[in-house]
A and B are shown apart, each in its own frame.
Chain A
């Protein structure tokens, strides 16, 4: 049901390259700022500088956190690991989904198993799955959360790739190559994959948004990174009790996650001309 409707009726034109760039720009700027953040931090992230929940003043522009550490410095340092983990998850899920999805389109019997696995995965809420894996492997930290997010995110992503690859697998040139005795990996990598660029780019964007969501939820539940670390979601959880004394300690990381999630999602949306489909059994 995706993308079959003519653009005129749905009111969505295929976005021009310039418009995509304009919509993706805030996300790119934010990514650069977050990744360069640790270099810009004015103070050490682990040394008390002000009173606990001290208000904003000359030395600490956004005040102190629950231990009096500089909120601004922790804010600038807390983005890079979160974004790196989310990027790793997005890459892993997209890669796994690409391989399995194309295979499912070329081998329908395998495709039916993929569908059943995705049907099963929808019954287990992602947060419950992450709790299970992160607690099974307490020393895993970010790696455990990343692994959980990859395992839980892949079934849906495979469905998206398989749905996009199915019409391509049925085209004459793939059938010709298949009848000509080409090997499976050749069909996958040379015949089908090059035609999936738009789908994969959009999938990667959406998986990155999903990665930010899952990594920050896990950090908020204190399943991934542990307290001395400066992580945006962890900062919100830690400083929530002092929201009356220094609202910035909570509001600033909250704004950072909100801006990151929204701008990356808008950018991913701009890259994907197709409308979203419910990523569920249909």
Chain B
């Protein structure tokens, strides 16, 4: 990424542009800084909740002295700022701290995280592919029957909560047709036992996102259609497919990249719901338990993971826009 950015820097541009590598680094530092700020906010928010991890995890019949002992063992009697610093300074070494139950956060998350990552990235890939296909199909026939059908279907799909889609899929494909399993069984390695258990959760996550993204793709392509070079290509009589791929899609990429990053955030939310319904062994269930336990490091660990994923996608989106439009935000 840095050599490409450096290559751009030799091109004449507005004076406020920093040299290439510096610009890429500045974008990355800005995203990192925002992630740290968000984590501080989440840490503070959990501290404001009534009760703490020592109370929340206390056993029945435990004396007040025992709870106090455990509070000290967990380090909860130290100031928030100090604990936050300890925790965030461990992050670069891959140390996410210790949960309220005394296990390392990384080991609690290491089992379910790959499962959620698999489900989430498949859903992201499916939603982008589907949205590009539907959006392009509609954009090539502005005002036509296909265009109107895609517009209505995508508007309808993105309004639906994931659990509604899940239940509909369950009723149709599992209950009535009997083609796919309704619940995910976990194999000995902690992953779903067979691939067909992934299909329904995947569709439930992807369908609302396909609706959202195909609207963005359709809109971005319509903006491209007005540009002089696309009009010139149409007058030259180039085939539609060629105009779409070579003249319209490249310019639409920045908008598509940003909406991908937005989708990633919505997929995390959807995963909590979909994983609950399909009994999928992912981060969602861990997260629900962590908040009831006031388990600050565990919740923060999940926020780090999702925030880092979204930051990376936003950084890529920044970079795509930078390459195509030649501007810095």
Contacts and interface: CB of A to CB of B under 8 A. Distances in A.
B258 A132 contact: no
A30 to B, nearest CB: 13
Contact of B291 (A2, A132, A280): A132
A266 B149 CA distance: 12
Contacts of A277: 219
A117 B296 CA distance: 23
A171 interface: no
B49 interface: yes
B160 A9 contact: no
A233 B168 CA distance: 14
A167 interface: no
Q: How large is the interface on B (under 10, 10 to 19, 20 to 34, 35 or more residues)?
A: 35 or more
A217 B269 contact: yes
Nearest to B143: A11
B159 A209 contact: yes
A119 B272 CA distance: 23
A123 B35 contact: yes
B184 interface: no
B216 interface: yes
A133 B215 CA distance: 31
Interface of B is mostly: helix
A275 B142 CA distance: 13
B48 to A, nearest CB: 6
Interface in A18-61: none
Interface of A is mostly: helix
A120 B37 contact: yes
Interface string A127-143: 11001110110000000
A257 B269 contact: no
Contacts, number: 174
A229 interface: no
A217 B258 contact: no
A86 B192 CA distance: 36
A269 B161 contact: no
B222 A275 contact: yes
A148 to B, nearest CB: 11
B291 A135 contact: yes
A1 B310 contact: no
Contacts of B34: 116, 119-120, 123
B175 A278 contact: no
Contacts of A262: 155-156, 159-160
A276 B219 contact: yes
Contact of A132 (B42, B155, B170): B42
Contacts of A179: none
Contacts of A212: 159, 161
Given A127-B268, A132-B42, A261-B159, A1 B255 contact: yes
Given A10-B142, A125-B306, A261-B160, 19 more contacts: A1-B219, A5-B226, A6-B226, A9-B225, A119-B34, A120-B38, A122-B265, A124-B265, A125-B265, A126-B265, A128-B272, A131-B291, A135-B291, A220-B273, A254-B168, A262-B156, A269-B151, A278-B259, A280-B261
The 10 closest A-B pairs by CB, nearest first: A11-B142, A11-B143, A127-B269, A265-B159, A275-B219, A261-B159, A10-B222, A125-B268, A262-B156, A136-B49
Interface of B: 34-35, 37-38, 41-42, 45-46, 48-50, 142-144, 147, 151-152, 155-156, 158-164, 167-168, 170-171, 175, 215-216, 218-220, 222-223, 225-226, 254-255, 258-259, 261-262, 265-266, 268-270, 272-273, 276-277, 287-288, 291-292, 299, 302-303, 306-307, 310-311, 314, 329
Interface of A: 1-2, 4-6, 9-12, 116, 119-120, 122-128, 131-133, 135-136, 209, 212-213, 216-217, 220-221, 233, 236-237, 240, 243-244, 247, 250-251, 254, 257-258, 261-262, 264-266, 269, 275-282
26 contacts: A12-B143, A120-B37, A120-B41, A123-B265, A123-B310, A124-B42, A124-B303, A128-B269, A131-B272, A132-B42, A132-B46, A135-B291, A213-B159, A216-B161, A221-B273, A221-B288, A233-B161, A236-B164, A240-B167, A243-B167, A250-B167, A261-B164, A266-B155, A275-B219, A278-B259, A281-B258
